[in-house]
């Protein structure tokens, strides 16, 4: 019999026990997972919802959806939008690094957001081995179809080393 050490729930196998225990509500160090995609009305679903306390009505959602589908982006509009987004990322790199990194599951552990279990496992490895690790908010320019910005995942201050998982 495999029982959760936190809530004594019975598990079928060792893997399900391990996965349950790291997320168990009775575990004080449990990780919290959130899907990287959002659902309207839930925290973190989109910028409008994050900025307001009242969710959109179904009618407003439908109007916005139709408007977005019918909008024709000219080259000038795309350039203007691109410049605005680059400025926003420069002013607040956390807005980019926190939720805009592909299709991985967002995991919160020790009040730090991770983009997938590989990042979390690397962070936990460093913790276990007493390696100082920080979430990196710095970016570096690189050239590919113009100048772009690269945001590494972590910084190891004792080694002056940036890490991309």
Report pLDDT digits (tens) over 148-161: 888 889 999 999 99
Enter the pTM of the model. 0.42
**DSSP secondary structure string, 85-98?**
HHHHHHH-HHHHHH
Residue 107 clears pLDDT 90, i.e. is over it: no
Residue boundaries of the structural domains of the chain: 1-30, 31-55+65-163
Are the C-beta atoms of residues 2 and 10 closer than 8 Å to each other? Answer: yes
Residue labelled with tokens 């160090």: 29
DSSP H/E element including 19: helix 14-23
User: Percent of the chain, pLDDT > 70?
Assistant: 79
Q: What is the pLDDT of residue 45?
A: 54
Identify the band that residue 133 occupies on the pLDDT scale cut at 50, 70 and 90.
Answer: very high
User: Percent of the chain, pLDDT > 90?
Assistant: 15
C-alpha distance across the termini of the chain, in Å: 36
Residue 54 clears pLDDT 90, i.e. is over it: no
Each as own residue / partner, the long-range contacts of residues 47-52 (CB below 8 Å, 24 or more positions apart, any chain) are none
Give Cβ neighbours of residue 44 (< 8 Å, ≥ 6 apart): 34, 38, 50, 99
Q: What is the largest CA-CA distance in the chain?
A: 65
More confident residue, 47 or 165: 165
Q: What is the pLDDT of residue 41?
A: 46
């Amino acid at each position: 019999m495999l029982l959760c050490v936190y809530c004594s729930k019975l598990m079928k196998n060792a893997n399900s026990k391990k996965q349950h225990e790291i997320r168990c509500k009775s575990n004080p160090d449990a990780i919290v997972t959130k899907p990287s995609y959002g659902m309207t009305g839930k925290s973190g679903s989109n910028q409008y919802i994050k900025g307001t306390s009242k969710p959109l009505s179904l009618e407003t959602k439908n109007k916005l959806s139709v408007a977005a589908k019918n909008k024709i982006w000219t080259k000038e509009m795309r350039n203007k939008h691109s410049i605005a987004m680059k400025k926003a990322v420069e002013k607040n790199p956390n807005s980019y690094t926190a939720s805009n990194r592909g299709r991985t599951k967002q995991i919160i552990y020790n009040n730090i957001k991770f983009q997938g279990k590989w990042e979390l496992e690397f962070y936990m490895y460093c913790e276990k081995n007493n390696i100082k690790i920080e979430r990196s908010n710095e970016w570096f320019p690189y050239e590919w179809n113009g100048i772009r910005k690269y945001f590494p995942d972590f910084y190891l201050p004792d080694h002056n080393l940036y890490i991309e998982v």
